A and B are shown apart, each in its own frame.
Chain A
């Protein structure tokens, strides 16, 4: 078995490995290197040391305010998405008529691309706000809540499917035993269902946190940072730094590296914490 696995390694793993190297590892290392340089295109660069990192934080390029906005956004959207998705999953795992149709319907928004969703919601939100002589750019809180609604609408269905799979995997003997022992639905939920679906919670939290932090398309098409960059999230801020000013490509790159470290750190900590709570059923 071991020998044949070795023998077939080039055939089965190599293509994926090459693809991984070309499309992930090489760009990642290049990006890291470029953050220490000044460049116009990725093939010509001059080394400038930590200059870009200093500029990224010290100058008024909106990095810190974007970071704060992103953190606020992520907190609220992660909470609301997971709570709503889990409640829906609970509802749709009961033997009610039409659950399959509802599952499909809730999942569908996830199949639409972010840019399209952003424009659709821009039209919807503006359509409502027009009645009060406002538009989505009138106030940053409109943009903020618009993004939250949009993100919820898109992600809930996906997370719901994961939770449904988790709930359906709970062995029925446990729930039946609980019922026989006289546990009410509240106790069943907190003592049996939630601990049993901990693996699903881990993955759902991971997906929502990283997706909220990395949100770009939806942000670009819904508000594009208006008014005055007050609804600009980190990814969009990096993009604007990169293309907004000659000689600032490296600063954008430096911000991207910082961004990567933040997202990686937060998701690693989250994975560690929630993994510890997982139980063997």
Chain B
């Protein structure tokens, strides 16, 4: 009997100790004043390093947690309900802000906001400023100049176009691409365009980024004096009158692809970027964030100085002066429900990141961000070929960049259903008219 008692006592003791030690772990976390929930998995390592640097320099602990690709909303939803919620988090634009407006602190008086060169970029609501973009990104058609030059050197090519400078609209792009497809064996490529990745979750380059172009042209006509993104946000219905133009470019991608139509449903973005990096294709639609993917592919053959970018032409009138698509869907917000000290510490951290010399060095060299802040000089830009192309286009005054109006799309579901329709279209189960109907009808349904 006595032995049993001792045993049960020991067991009880052990369970109490375990409980205490678990609680102890929780407390340790509390010491972190700043908790940053990072959106970009490709930058996770750089942020970890940065947090350590900051602790060494300022003695304040920064906790960085990175959500896995495509799971930011899920992670944020569960993290923000915890006692130790993120103090800095990210919203993906006006629609994202709608979901999180109860959690965003007004940061109108912060230094961070004063850094912003174009104040209109921030997300404002009732005179307050609730989220600030921290990176400007751009996308277009990335091409391998070596392969293009090889094509222009061909004796039996049938086009009048002699250099990529002469590709100024959809017509010229199409003739070059189709003629290149005819000569693909001579050029040593499998196809002109990399696979149009249409696996679920890998189709954002089409249902979001490519659709941005016809939507932008429509939005800018709704009211010429106001911002096209705001026009779209207010629109309960869209006409989608540039359906034909979307079809033009999408068909061009699919018909001149390295992969047969029926197999596109199994391709991912990483597959496409690998094809480009290995020199199997000449062009791929993507943005400057893809640089890390291109340079990270083992045995890549494409040379850094041969990587250039073209605007995405769709055959819309006046597109000769169209630039690439430049914008952001990365806005930082401060958690309203965290303590005053935490909010201050979080802002301090961000201000340090975007204005101190150590912070700025990380931003340009490790994170490869082109920022919208005036604390960065013109020579403080990331040094990768795609970022250089973005800056080149942004600084070219003869060209007009297309803003990212897709941040006004009503929901994730909306994008998803267009993605599935595009897959059905390439597999021959749906017509282009069905896709058009989905784009119009779903907009109405989802923005109810």
* A244 touching B8 in the complex, CB below 8 Å, given contacts A41-B81, A44-B102, A226-B200: no
Q: Measuring CB to CB, which residues of chain B are less than 8 angstroms from any residue of chain A?
A: 8, 11-12, 15, 73-74, 77-78, 80-81, 95, 98-100, 102, 198-201, 260, 262-266, 410-413, 416-417, 420-421, 423-424, 427, 429, 445-446
Chain A positions near chain B (C-beta within 8 angstroms): 8, 11, 15, 40-44, 59-60, 122, 126, 130, 133-139, 223-229, 240, 243-249
* Interface pair A229/B445, CB less than 8 Å apart: no
B335–chain A nearest beta-carbon distance, Å: 12
20 inter-chain pairs at a CB distance below 8 angstroms, sorted by A residue, are A8-B8, A15-B15, A40-B100, A40-B102, A41-B80, A42-B81, A130-B263, A134-B262, A135-B262, A135-B264, A138-B265, A223-B200, A227-B265, A227-B424, A227-B429, A243-B77, A244-B411, A244-B416, A245-B412, A249-B77
CB of A88, distance to nearest CB on chain B (Å): 32
Assess the A11–B8 pair: CB atoms within 8 A: yes
Contact A243 B74 (CB under 8 A): yes
Known: A42-B81, A246-B411. A226 touches B11 (CB 8 A): no
Check A133–B260 contact: CB distance below 8 A: yes
Given A244-B412, A245-B411, answer yes or no on A135-B420 (Cβ-Cβ < 8 Å).
no
* Known pairs A41-B80, A226-B200 / 13 extra A-B pairs, C-beta < 8 Å: A8-B8, A41-B77, A122-B266, A133-B260, A137-B265, A137-B423, A225-B200, A226-B420, A227-B420, A227-B424, A240-B416, A243-B74, A244-B411
- B-side contacts of A43, CB under 8 Å: 81
Q: Give the docked Cα–Cα distance between A126 and B199 (Å).
A: 13
| B268 nearest CB across to chain A (Å) | 11
Docked Cα-Cα span, A139 to B74, in Å, equals: 29
Binding site of B, secondary structure by majority: helix, strand, loop or mixed?
A: helix
Name which residue of chain A comes closest to B416, CB basis.
A244
B residues within 8 A CB of A135? 262-266
CA distance A257 to B17 in the complex (A): 37
Residues in A whose Cβ lies below 8 Å from that of B99: 40, 246-247
The reply to whether B262 and A138 form a contact with Cβ atoms under 8 Å apart is: yes
Bound form: Cα–Cα A198–B201 in Å: 45
A229 and B442 CA atoms in complex are apart in Å by: 15
Contact B102–A228 (Cβ < 8 Å): no
The 6 closest A-B pairs by CB, nearest first: A137-B265, A224-B200, A135-B266, A228-B420, A244-B413, A245-B411
